[in-house]
Structure 1
């Protein structure tokens, strides 16, 4: 019944609904790079577009796979057993970096903050103490913590990294790239990580990595040679024989089309659209009596909202009640598991009319329960 009234409304915080114009370009075949230039030309043009989106001159590379291939590739390519790492966590993925680095044999100083918060100037003191204590080769942080629905300010962290002469800052921007402004170079970020399945509205085919000269130099010294190594991609567009495995033609086509669409809409317009839909969502939840998960001082993400479950519902009953009307939401992880729900308003899902319908559905479900 709900499908007739409202239509299907997926609001997962990734993977999001594929843009129809992106789906249309994914059928085209390419000759392998060694037999032609079409693919490498597309790859090189995509590099320029992603650099513009991320405000950087760092080289962009696109390994095949879901965004986690980039996270693992960055750590494995630039760290060796015994290296010291400071991880900054305000959520599941931020602290997850610590687990990943420890599994590689690194010595990790884990600086963790409440999961309903974002980094503040006061927090920098704790981070600075960890840096001085540890003398790390790498700091890690997350821009958008999707499990918490938050967006970390990173400019001051980037300044601290530079002041303390830490070689590398690695930032997970998987759920913000293409939906919120990113200042890679201004943040002194050496490896910025993204993924095709979030704000770019593509299938989860392609990782996105912006890699600094310093990171390339360190990767050369580490010499990691696994499937997720970044080294084979260095300057690969200029030398097609360097691609380490069969390129994911469809993934690059899709991501290139997405970058074109963002460029055509205008990045300022894109970011404003995400902010407006996020504000509509949160104001609507407030009117429905549903409080946000995040603390009042936290910076909420323009791409994802995390809220408390309404009274009288556990996550399972809330999820299925909304699904009856064609609305699909997500739960969360770690300490938030079973306590909150999340609405992903990124990419194709960051549309005012979709959010208005979502709020109508939630109002109808709540009214029905009374």
Structure 2
């Protein structure tokens, strides 16, 4: 049915009507006093979301662009960095480091499992010469549905004394608590099309004083992504380059909605939806790709659908129920489906996707569950 598609993918995510309305406003001059007033409010609200007193800057960029800014602004060619790799996006940041001539040491962990913080601790403690300049961590690994123990990882990084923490929080910011100041994080990157309940197009990067100190001597090339320019202009509630003005309008409304709900309630809602989907999947006799509940992402759940082919299941859900799920990536292509449950989602959305999943499995000849088992499991967990 036209205009009925429901996005249950890990991004882009559904957008509230009030945000869509704000996006449709007539643009205003980005050097005007009116726009500066809006941007000033947005920058303060972003600090609230990041739980920080540090700078939070807005870029017209994707999450990848924001992560690239997080790397090039604080490092120099040949710098040694540790990249925590247990999924596709973590591997992307390692490849990015290679492209910039950094000495990137990959700390590998199995896909579908949380990274072992002890592996990072050992690598940092072995660096007695303090050559490691940064540790790059993907907090919520979208490709596998795993969340890494960022608090513990950050504690080991701080104990090193020299290394910066550079964090991909693209699918964790707004879905779970990322208290930048309390955890001592240095660089936190995220993007609009995930927990922010926005369309793609804006990137956000929060920067600690320690990272700004490193900026002073960083030698990697940068121009559009030079955060020093953004910081200088943000002090005057403006931007160094033309921003995505209408996305800023929408962001103002989205952040206001988040404040009305409250951080604790936002995080509890995402946790409840994660648990409901996981228990429903188990009740349907399917396997969770990331089986450890303690390491389950609040943003996305990866499901092994055998004996039903993953792409066949996705196609059936799209054709018959107008619901889009994400597929697997790289070595997981055709092997899993990924159910997004972050941002502008409520209990009805969770029950809808589970009921459609049940119906699709039955239609495709899979009958290893009692009718209604998934809905019953989801309902029980949503009621808690």
TM-score where L is the length of structure 1: 0.92
Structure 1: gaps spanning 5 or more residues: none
SS in 1 for 2:12: coil
Q: Contact 1:157–1:187 (CA<8 Å) still a contact in 2?
A: no
Residues 283-338 of structure 1 deviation map (CA, whole Å, 9 limit, x = unaligned): 11111111100133651011110110231x32321111111221210012222222
1:130-149 alignment, distance < 5 Å: 131-132=127-128, 135-149=131-145
C-alpha change, 1:63 and 1:18, in structure 2 (3 Å) is same
Which shows bigger deviation, 51-60 or 25-34? Answer: 25-34
SS in 1 for 2:107: strand
Aligned residue-pair number: 362
**Partner in structure 1 of residue 259 of structure 2:** 263
C-alpha change, 1:239 and 1:53, in structure 2 (3 Å) is closer
Which residue, 63, 66, 91 being the options, matches 2:62? 66
Cα distance in 2 for partners of 1:204, 1:102 equals: 26
SS in 2 for 1:79: coil
Structure 1 residue 149: deviation in Å? Answer: 0.6
Which residue, 199, 208, 213 being the options, matches 1:217? 213
Q: Contact 2:72–2:222 (CA<8 Å) still a contact in 1?
A: no
C-alpha change, 1:139 and 1:121, in structure 2 (3 Å) is closer
SS in 1 for 2:46: helix
**Partner in structure 1 of residue 164 of structure 2:** 168
SS in 1 for 2:287: coil
**Partner in structure 2 of residue 113 of structure 1:** 109
Runs of 4+ residues over 6 Å off in structure 1: none
**Partner in structure 2 of residue 93 of structure 1:** 89
Q: Contact 1:195–1:206 (CA<8 Å) still a contact in 2?
A: yes
Cα distance in 1 for partners of 2:331, 2:126 equals: 24
Residues 123-142 of structure 1 deviation map (CA, whole Å, 9 limit, x = unaligned): 44444356457721111101
C-alpha change, 1:199 and 1:192, in structure 2 (3 Å) is same
SS in 2 for 1:185: helix
Structure 2: gaps spanning 5 or more residues: 366-384
Q: Contact 1:109–1:130 (CA<8 Å) still a contact in 2?
A: no
Residues 226-275 of structure 1 deviation map (CA, whole Å, 9 limit, x = unaligned): 2222121013133367x321121112111121111000011111111111
Aligned-residue CA RMSD (Å): 2.0
2:323 aligned with 1:327, yes or no? yes
SS in 2 for 1:366: helix
1:163-202 alignment, distance < 5 Å: 163-202=159-198
Q: Contact 1:322–1:328 (CA<8 Å) still a contact in 2?
A: yes
Cα distance in 1 for partners of 2:254, 2:157 equals: 32
Structure 1 residue 206: deviation in Å? Answer: 0.5
C-alpha change, 1:197 and 1:130, in structure 2 (3 Å) is farther
Cα distance in 2 for partners of 1:130, 1:28 equals: 55
Cα distance in 2 for partners of 1:249, 1:93 equals: 28
Q: Contact 1:84–1:108 (CA<8 Å) still a contact in 2?
A: yes
1:266-345 alignment, distance < 5 Å: 266-296=262-292, 299-311=295-307, 313-323=308-318, 324-345=320-341
C-alpha change, 1:93 and 1:75, in structure 2 (3 Å) is same
**Partner in structure 2 of residue 253 of structure 1:** 249
TM-score where L is the length of structure 2: 0.89
C-alpha change, 1:204 and 1:132, in structure 2 (3 Å) is farther
Which shows bigger deviation, 117-126 or 295-304? Answer: 117-126
Cα distance in 1 for partners of 2:7, 2:59 equals: 27
